[in-house]
Amino acid sequence: MNFFEAQDQARRLTGRLVGLLLLAVAGLIVVASLVVALALVLLDGQAGGDPLARALDPRLLGGVAVAVILVVALGSLGRHLQLRAGGSAVAEALGGRPLNLETRDDNERRLLNVVEEMAIASGLPVPAVYLLEDPAINAFAAGHAPDDAAIGVTRGAIETLGRDELQGVIAHEFSHVLHGDMRLNLRLVALLHGILAIGLIGHMLLRGAVLGGRGRSRRGGGHAAVLGLGAALMVVGYAGTLCGRLIKAAVSRQREFLADASAVQYTRNPDGIGGALKKLAAHSAGSRLGAANAEEFSHLYFGRGVRAMSRLTSTHPPLEQRIRRVLPHWDGSLPSPASRPADPAGAEPPSTSAPPTGTTLAAAVVASVGRLDAPDIARARQRLAEIEARLIEAAHDPFAARALVYGILMGGDPQSREKQRLALDSQALPEVLVELDRLAEPLARLAPGHRLPLIELALPVLRQLSTTQFAGFHACLERLMAIEARPGALQWALHRLVVQGIEGERRARRDRHLVDLGGPLSRLLSALATAGQGDGAEAREAFGQAAEALGVALDFMAEPALAADLDWAMERLVRLATAERAALLAAMIRCVEHDGRVEPEEAELLRAVAWTLGCPLPDPDRGGLASRPGERHDGQHR
């Protein structure tokens, strides 16, 4: 199953799950409405007539049903709004704290390195990393989309697991990001909270009736009716919650198996995830979290996290079963809880296999979307090692990160750079300008292919800017782009990536088709063809091949694209149906590799545009996507 099929499957699964829960809610509404209507009739105290018949009066029953629906809907909506910030809201609800990106703690630094390597290798935004001060071994990934994702890891995990084991756990969590599980998980939280609201109202009624009846005479049937109503709503609400948990657990168990298998696929090291699972089984604190609301998010965790009432309500398969799936020859022995393997001495060397040839390159790259492999992670580690330490450190500092982005996005033309610097002098903070001067020399030596990784590293700290700070930062970015009359496609794409990476993905229905988007496709593919082949006959030919591959009538636009034109195109292309994004991505690749080579700048451009489309491309070197100077994909030299 490729990335696009996995995303579609996650959406279908979400639809089915929501449908099942809505059926459960419908049943609850019917039962709760009858209970409330009957209680109202009894509280009315009028003699005569059958109470049940009066409770079944359509006007009374309909009014009560509407009220119950509103309770469930408002309960779900309220929880959804509380979690709209994405993964950070979940991490903070569980007591997590954002990990200091400049930490000197070896365990925390190791965790950050593993997460950053995994993100850069997969083409995903680097997620926010949270530390839970809990002795249990556990972790989770949460968010609505990769742009607002957060990875949470416990203190017990980073102190107990070796690097390979920690990498296996993080790979497991990245699988949930890549397979679209996060949005499904947060929707489950909101829906179950709405169902639980009925039970909570019943609990409050019952408690109020008991406390209100003490110390004074009870009014007979009325008081009894309130007690009965509260008890009945509690039973109905908690029964509905139990039904929801059964559905949640059944889905979650299968997604955990998939994530374990994906961790093995990504790292090519079953001993990593297998060792972490064995450590979890042997650890004295296990995986149970001490947070007060740990139960609500139980389906997000790497380990069980909470005590399950039965195997039916357990959101995770038994540990023994998970271990045997990744380590079929496991003998049943467990390691000492205190043992921790030594970290590997160095990175695995990148793959040296021959790159794909001809038109197979596009198919190979499309197949790699959303998939990781051990050489990808090793390449990401090597790429980060090639970047000067000053720039890596700058990406983790709030002031230096802003200066780093300004420096990367400033145009290559000296005259434009001078104008842009003057604009920054009047708009940017003095502390940021000092950092920009300090970074000028290493930025001038920055090798092609290193700009995108640095921006990815800087995004987590930039997301922590306050509203006022981001407004100032965003104004400076817009000013830089405005001064650059004709920004290159890469400059535009990196600028868009920074803004989207901080603001988050704009929610849009993916209901458009390629045949509906001729204008935006013409604009984007023309820009890519021109970026890869210049503005001559080769660019027109590259564009024609891409249009032919799409099977859509398109018009080549020879004039250089303005940033506003490309923004207009992307705002429409983000609505493209998931199933058709693979075809667009293949056409984009055909544009830039028409001459038989893909320069590092072109590979960065592809990744940046693919990111904004929600298609995470792996490291540019994978499958020969980024050529060395003088090499062609057909094996010939230029």
- Render pLDDT for 62-72 as a digit per residue (tens, 0 to 9): 777 787 788 88
Q: If you average pLDDT over each of 263-267, 350-354, 403-407, which comes out highest?
A: 403-407
**Greater confidence, 77 or 310?**
77
Whether pLDDT at 449 is above 60: yes
CA distance 449 to 439: 18
Nearest to 458, CA basis, from 396, 383, 387: 396
* Mean pLDDT (the chain, rounded): 81
Specify which of 57-66, 150-159, 496-505 reaches the highest per-range mean pLDDT.
150-159
pLDDT band at 356 (very low <50, low <70, confident <90, very high): very low
pLDDT score, position 110: 95
For residues 264 and 174, is the Cβ–Cβ distance under 8 A? Answer: no
> Is residue 457 over pLDDT 70?
yes
DSSP class of 303: S
Integer Cα distance of 287 and 157 in angstroms: 9
- CA–CA dist 194, 74 (Å, integer): 7
Whole-model pTM over 0.85: no
Does pLDDT of 42 surpass 90?
A: no
Classify burial at 332, counting beta carbons within 10 Å of its beta carbon; exposed 0-12, middle 13-18, buried 19 or more.
Answer: exposed
Banded model confidence at residue 355, pLDDT cuts 50, 70, 90: very low
Instruction: Tell me how far apart the alpha carbons of residues 118 and 96 are, in angstroms, rounded to a whole number.
Output: 21
Per-residue pLDDT, 216: 47
Q: Of 169, 160, 75, 186, which is closest to residue 129 (Cα–Cα)? A: 169
Neighbours of 478 (CB within 10 A): 14
Q: Which DSSP string corresponds to 119-157?
A: HHHHTPPPPEEEEE--SS--EEEE-SSGGG-EEEEEHHH
**Smallest Cα–Cα separation from 332: which of 258, 267, 282?**
282
Least confident of 8-22, 189-203, 375-389, 412-426: 8-22
Q: Are strands 128-132 and 139-142 parallel, antiparallel or unpaired?
A: unpaired
Q: Count each helix (H run) and each strand (E run) in the chain, helices first.
A: 25, 4
Confidence of residue 436 (pLDDT cuts 50, 70, 90): very high
pLDDT of residue 593: 79
| Catalytic, out of 173, 256, 601, 602 | 173
Contacts of 579 (CB under 8 A, 6+ apart): 4, 8
Give the closest residue to 463 by CA, choosing from 473, 454, 450.
473
N- to C-terminal Cα separation, the chain: 37
- Write the pLDDT tens digit of every residue in 309-351: 677 778 888 999 999 989 998 988 888 766 566 666 554 444 4
pLDDT confidence bin for 636, thresholds 50/70/90? very low
Is residue 173 part of the annotated active site? The answer reads yes
Q: Are 624 and 375 in contact (CB under 8 A)?
A: no
CA distance 322 to 274: 8
Distance between CA atoms of 139 and 157, rounded to whole angstroms? 8
What pLDDT, in 10s, does the model give residues 591-613? 887 777 777 888 888 888 888 88
pLDDT, one tens digit per residue, over 154-206 is 999 999 999 999 999 999 999 898 887 888 888 888 888 887 787 777 777 77
Residue 561, helix vs strand vs coil: coil
**Phi/psi of residue 151, nearest 5 degrees:** -110, 125
DSSP state of 49: S
- CA 468 to each of CA 92, 431, 465, 472, 513: distance values in angstroms, whole numbers, following the listed order: 22, 16, 8, 6, 38
pLDDT digits (tens, 9 = 90+) for 98-143: 998 888 899 999 999 999 999 998 888 899 999 999 999 999 999 9
- Looking at the DSSP assignment, which residues form a beta bridge with residue 131? 97, 153
Both tokens of 466, joined, read: 């306050």
Q: What percent of the chain has pLDDT over 70?
A: 82
Q: What's the pLDDT at 352?
A: 42
Centroid of chain to Cα 631: 36
> 339: helix, coil or strand?
coil
Residue with tokens 């001729």: 518
Residue scoring higher pLDDT (14 or 549):
549
| Rounded Cα–Cα distance for residues 417 and 404 (Å) | 14
Residue 13: predicted pLDDT: 63
State the Cα–Cα distance between residues 74 and 77, nearest whole angstrom. 5
